[in-house]
Amino acid sequence: MKTAAKAPNPRQWSSADQQEAIRKRAEEIYIRNGRIPGRDTENWTQAEKEIRRESAEPRSLKAIVVKVRGIQYIGQYDPESSDGYVPGEFGLRASIPVRFDDNKMFVQRPNGKMLETIVVSKIG
């Protein structure tokens, strides 16, 4: 079963992106309500309300601290897009594979999945 897509922050999307998000949500509503014809306007209106409400909700970001070669990196991530990462998966002072790409830090989790973060601080 498909779940409704979360709306990105409206400050981060263009008008075209917003229209596309609303269009996709209206289609999800159409399918969810049994594909009833002639309800395009109602589905679109409901989709607009849902997208606006979701995009107005504050996003709760979390951080992970990793020390690599004496430098401490703080990587910020969105729990909703972290593929089930739970703080505490790594043991204290555990050796973990880390990869950097520009301002992104990718931390390999014990289950083999990668936790993608944005480096917000580098100390040392």
Torsion, Cα 103 105 106 107, to 10 degrees, reads -170
pLDDT at residue number 3: 43
Average pLDDT value over all residues in the chain: 84
Give the closest residue to 80 by CA, choosing from 101, 97, 100, 57.
57
39: enclosing H helix or E strand: none
96 dihedral zone (left: phi>0; alpha: psi -120 to 50; beta): beta
Whether the pLDDT of residue 26 is over 70: the answer is: yes
